Structure 1
Amino acid sequence: MKTIGVIGAGVMGRGVAQSFAQAGHKVILMDISEEVLDTAAEEIYNQIRMLLLFKKVEGLEAPEVILERIHRTTSLEELREADIIVENVNEQWEVKKDVYAQIDPICQKDCIFLVNTSCISITRIAALTKRPDRVIGTHFMNPVPLKSAVEVIKGMDTSEQTIEVVTELLSSIGKETILVNDYPGFVSNRISHLFMNEAAFVLQDQVASAREVDDIFVKCYGHTMGPLETADLIGLDTVMDSLDVLYESYQDPKFRCCPLLRKMVHAGRTGRKSGEGFYSY
């Protein structure tokens, strides 16, 4: 078992921390906010209770036992002990750039950095460090504990040894590795964000309601969730930031963020996490 440092205790970060702790790994969960860390612990506890109630994970331990493996901290210095770092901060280049400038000199030389990003190039992030061969993208999907696979992205300098270690690590938490090459957005978000963005344009043009748009994808195409409900789950601010990264990276107007989507973010209607998005929660 390894010590996993998880940076960022938001929706994705706590899902990642829960998945590794459930599998027996020691986790150091770091965030700049004590309040966010406390909320993360409460949410992880509740999520494990729900999994136990509905028996969705075989052999799952009690929430108290799993939470004992998650050490919460606001100090990056405590990540010195980590064998693996999983970074989950906001999808904004300046924020990520600052994080890697701080953790690269702190962490052990053989520590591997897993970049949990939606769209930002893994090669670009690896260039911020002195260990580009040990930087790899791991695009976890939400809700992390219930997903069976991870989109893993090989940067230009990512070594085969790093890929092997990460593949084995993900297997230890019950997740299959789907390995792809590094271009902004990779496979999943380069395609899915077009769906979500165009669905917002359809709503803006009053072609259909949010429910009607999503019902077509669920009832006609057999998707588990429609694109607007998916955007609410991810967070409309994250979707907007990702579209901006894609637009900047490819200079292609197809990635231009829908004005309605941007206006909703500016109004604080960011989806499930705010209680209001394309739907009310």
Structure 2
Amino acid sequence: MNAALTLPSPAKLNRMLHIVGRREDGYHALQTLFQFIDLHDHLTLASRDDGEIQLSSDIEGVYHDDNLIVRAARLLQHHSRTPLGATLAIEKQLPMGGGLGGGSSNAATTLVGLNHLWQLNLPFDELARLGLQLGADVPVFIYGHSAWAEGVGEQLTAVTLDTPWFVIIHPGISVSTPGVFQDPQLTRDSRPITMARALQGGAPEWRNDCEAVVKKRYPPIAEVLHWLAQHAPSRLTGTGACVFAAFETQQSAQAIAQLADQHWPTWVARGLNTSPLHDALGRY
């Protein structure tokens, strides 16, 4: 058995996000396109024999037992009835509340990594069902492929998207996702489209239905969207706070990123169709 694993916990972008209804349970029905990018946190997992689950690196403002990493480890431990425990350490690069899926990705990396480390050999479908208990975005990180998603984001169909270079800007604030989805002015009645139509229409027709509400609630995000739109079509990912635009070449993306970086934290990242997590796991 491997004593420890160090794995990437990648970010995602919502290339589009439509809200097509509200369900009886209060959750919103979505249509979205998930794409991975080559930005990630690093998660180190070490097996232990005493059954304890410990996160050795604190995340400011998050209690140990509430952390999705700890919750994911304990959920898998309980589900599999393994006597093993784990010491977990996270090196954060992705901003919290940024719409890049950091927490969900951390949970998914924990489930996938411990499944391997503990030699449980549970299939991805089973891990995804567990992950859904932690968040609607967790399953896409478990399956590890760009996807068309419906439902609350858990009904996934693998797709192949273009892989441009992205400029991603963080306005330096955190967005309350529940606050956005509870806003009475949020668009909730977009007309559903088929996956084929979404892929055929492509980037010019893609939009994020959360954007209008987020811009009104968070003026710094509106400022970044306006600034980036002067250089390329810009869009919010998830409920934000991060904003992104696609460029054909790394050089053109870096030129805009250098300008943006004078005002906000900015990254250049390549779009991916497969998760770096699965690429890394194949090396163990």
Q: Say yes or no: TM over 0.5.
A: no
User: TM-score scaled to structure 2, two decimals?
Assistant: 0.29
User: TM-score scaled to structure 1, two decimals?
Assistant: 0.29
Highest relative contact order (Cα 8 Å, sep 6+), 1 or 2? 2
**Relative to total residues, which structure has the larger helix share, 1 or 2?**
1
**Relative to total residues, which structure has the larger strand share, 1 or 2?**
2
